Amino acid sequence: MLVTGGAGFIGANFVHYTLNHKPEFEVTVIDKLTYAGNPDNLKSILDRVNFVTGDICDRELMDKLVAETDIVVHFAAESHNDNSLRNPWPFVETNIIGTYNILEAVRKHDKRLHHISTDEVFGDLELDDPNRFTEETPYNPSSPYSSTKAGSDHLVRAWIRSFGIKATISNCSNNYGPYQHIEKFIPRQITNILSDIKPKLYGTGEQVRDWIHVDDHNSAVHLIIEKGKLGDTYIIGADNDHVNNKAVIELICELMGKGADWYEHVNDRPGHDMRYAMNSTKLRTELGWQPQYTDQGGMREGLQATIDWYSENDEWWQAEKAKVEAKYAEQGQ
């Protein structure tokens, strides 16, 4: 198995999950090791994987690596919305050109591909809209990040239809858990409190994300690889679409021994999507998937496990903390 972006947050957790639950796989990881890719994410298992420092935009390298594997699980992407607003080009390069290189190598060597995507390709829903995104929801991306991910999804579907490659796609809601970069919403708040800094809430905090623990996401990916219908797309979501950012930050404060209102409001993100909600009925009914961190306390249990990890692994994040907060301070966030 070749895992692209396997030193990033979700990819690294996928590699750990694979080694722990699917030991039949020999895993190769390729990662460019940008700010989001951290070799420390794989430090404890480096002796069990073949690690390649490289760029998926390197066509010759991808051709070589794909030729030597059976299945490609494609996590590699530029993925931070705020960064895409400051400089869109790396998102176009990695998410579009990089995916193209992988598709051409998969086509040439007749390999299996699973492409990881996001709920953000669908745009957002109104706060009072009872609907959820499904596999048939039209795309309506709103940022350079989400539009380039939408483009990569369209490329995969075109290569399936035009060239008959063996591929599946999954669109997942917002992940949280170990190894997530501290610029992201949940780990930023956790590490703020651990650093005795008040958490920061964008705007009024009414935005809703269908949060899913990264282990639940990755269990779904493996199920799709094993049982999914080639050519199909699967929505992955944990039914946490009733919890807004304000409620999440207040729960984090509570779990970490602070008052529920121990946070500050900061400037909202430009073009901030309001609500994401995922309908994972197809995944649950056709493939039998169930998340471990379910509703009825799932966010509480998942957040507590995440808080515990950041508390116990402060050496993983402390060196970056001041720099991340300084960058946000410049933007009034």
Q: Where are the beta strands (DSSP E) in the chain?
A: 2-4, 28-31, 50-53, 71-74, 112-118, 166-172, 175-176, 200-202, 212-213, 233-236, 264-266
Q: How far apart are CA 19 and CA 163, in angstroms?
A: 32
Is 239 an annotated catalytic residue? Answer: no
> For residue 202, which amino acid is it?
Y
Say if CB 2 and CB 30 are below 8 A apart.
yes
Is 293 an annotated catalytic residue? Answer: no
Q: How far apart are CA 175 and CA 212, in angstroms?
A: 5
Sign of the torsion angle spanned by Cα atoms 52, 57, 59, 63: positive
Say if CB 1 and CB 28 are below 8 A apart.
yes
Q: How far apart are CA 88 and CA 81, in angstroms?
A: 10
Cβ atoms within 10 A of the Cβ of 17, count? 17
Is 126 an annotated catalytic residue? Answer: no
Say if CB 176 and CB 241 are below 8 A apart.
no
Tokens standing for 233?
């797309």
Which among 100, 145, 176, 263 is annotated as catalytic? 145
How far separated are the first and last CA of the chain, in Å rounded?
Answer: 40
- Which residues are bridge partners to 264 per DSSP? 200
> For residue 239, which amino acid is it?
D
- Which residues are bridge partners to 233 per DSSP? 169
Which among 31, 55, 78, 120 is annotated as catalytic? 120
Which among 55, 119, 210, 239 is annotated as catalytic? 119
Catalytic residues: 119-120, 145
